[in-house]
């Protein structure tokens, strides 16, 4: 059975001191409450990745980047390359978040290039996909999910043991307080897993973690994690407060041993 990932996407929040403080609090929480089947993951902004990694070094928590350049190296001012993340021992990276697609006009083709750069460095991509409200209302959810998966993963194969995480984040649920119902989320996740099964193979589809993102909070995480194909959360706002993060981790730990 797949473990659960409680992933905090901090977006452009927290300064250096706040990042360290949260990481120290998380480290001491995990000393007592770490569960072997629940993975804590945090994605701070680039400049604080090293300090977060260092503070969490003695814990099982993972530190992820929020993005990566599609280029390998060189004259690309402001960009950060996959090899640079790897040199900090960063092993996970979010790609294709809807905010990147919306504000930076990232295409599936560009996201695919980023996936390739990450895999060259042995970094696990956390690929974000999801529809807008207009697309859902127009009945385009399934088609959009499939076209984002096809676009980002075109021509890519997954070797045995190589990892990929997919986060389904309906754009209308991000930062709005409106969460997809457990049924809506499970339907999308089942579709994604069925697509992965066809595109790769059933065993690969079964081992890939599918995270739900969009207004996940302590009050709704249990219901979401109870769904068969939801293997964790990619959490924005509610991951910024240590009390909420701990509460969500504890809920996941309570469910981790059950047949979700
Ligand atoms: P919120 O949890 O703030 O809705 O953000 C979700 C998200 O975009 C995580 O990547």
Express each pLDDT in 149-202 by its tens digit: 999 999 999 887 789 999 999 999 998 888 889 999 999 999 999 999 999 999
Task: Enumerate the domain spans of the chain.
Answer: 4-255
Cα–Cα distance, 125 to 7 (Å, whole number): 13
Query: What percent of the chain is modeled with pLDDT above 90?
Result: 93
Q: What is the average pLDDT value for the chain, to the nearest integer? A: 96
* Terminal Cα distance for the chain, rounded: 9
Express each pLDDT in 29-50 by its tens digit: 999 999 999 999 999 999 999 9
Average pLDDT over residues 189-217: 96
Phi/psi at 151 (nearest 5 deg)? -65, -45
pLDDT bracket for residue 260 (50, 70, 90): low
pTM (predicted TM-score): 0.97
Cα–Cα distance, 65 to 8 (Å, whole number): 11
Where does 10-81 show beta strands of DSSP type E? Answer: 38-43, 62-65
The pLDDT of residue 197: 96
The residues annotated with a catalytic role in the active site are 97, 169
Q: Is the pLDDT at 258 greater than 90, yes or no? A: no
Packing angle between helix 182-199 and helix 141-153, nearest 10 degrees? 40
Phi/psi at 96 (nearest 5 deg)? 75, 25
Q: For ligand 1, what atom is nearest to the CA of residue 235?
A: 2
Cα–Cα distance, 42 to 62 (Å, whole number): 6
Q: Which residues line ligand 1 (CB under 6 A)?
A: 9, 97, 169, 174-175, 213-216, 234-238
Cα–Cα distance, 32 to 59 (Å, whole number): 11
User: How many Å lie between the centroid of ligand 1 and the Cα of residue 137?
Assistant: 21
The pLDDT of residue 224: 97
User: How many Å lie between the centroid of ligand 1 and the Cα of residue 64?
Assistant: 15
Nearest CA to ligand 1 atom 1: 236
CATH topology of domain 4-255: TIM Barrel (3.20.20)
């Amino acid at each position: 059975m797949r473990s659960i990932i409680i992933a905090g996407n901090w977006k452009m929040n927290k300064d250096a001191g706040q990042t360290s403080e949260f990481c120290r609090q998380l480290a001491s929480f995990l000393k007592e409450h770490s569960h072997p089947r629940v993975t804590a993951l945090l994605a701070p902004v680039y400049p604080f990745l090293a300090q977060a990694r260092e503070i969490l070094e003695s814990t099982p928590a993972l530190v992820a980047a929020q993005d990566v350049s599609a280029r390998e190296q060189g004259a690309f001012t402001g960009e950060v390359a996959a090899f640079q993340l790897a040199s900090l021992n960063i092993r996970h990276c979010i790609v294709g978040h809807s905010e990147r697609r919306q504000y930076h006009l990232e295409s599936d083709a560009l996201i695919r290039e980023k996936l390739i750069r990450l895999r060259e460095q042995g970094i696990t991509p956390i690929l974000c996909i999801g529809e807008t409200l207009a697309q859902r209302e127009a009945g385009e959810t399934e088609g959009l999910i499939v076209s984002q998966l096809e676009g980002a993963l075109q021509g890519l194969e997954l070797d045995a043991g190589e990892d990929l995480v997919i986060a389904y984040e309906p754009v209308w649920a991000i930062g709005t307080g409106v969460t997809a119902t457990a049924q809506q989320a499970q339907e999308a996740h089942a579709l994604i897993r069925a697509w992965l099964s066809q595109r790769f193979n059933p065993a690969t589809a079964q081992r890939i973690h599918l995270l739900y993102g969009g207004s996940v909070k302590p009050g709704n995480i249990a219901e979401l994690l109870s769904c068969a194909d939801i293997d964790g959360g990619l959490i924005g706002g509610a991951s910024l407060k240590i009390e909420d993060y701990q509460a969500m981790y504890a809920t996941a730990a309570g469910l981790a041993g059950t047949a979700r």
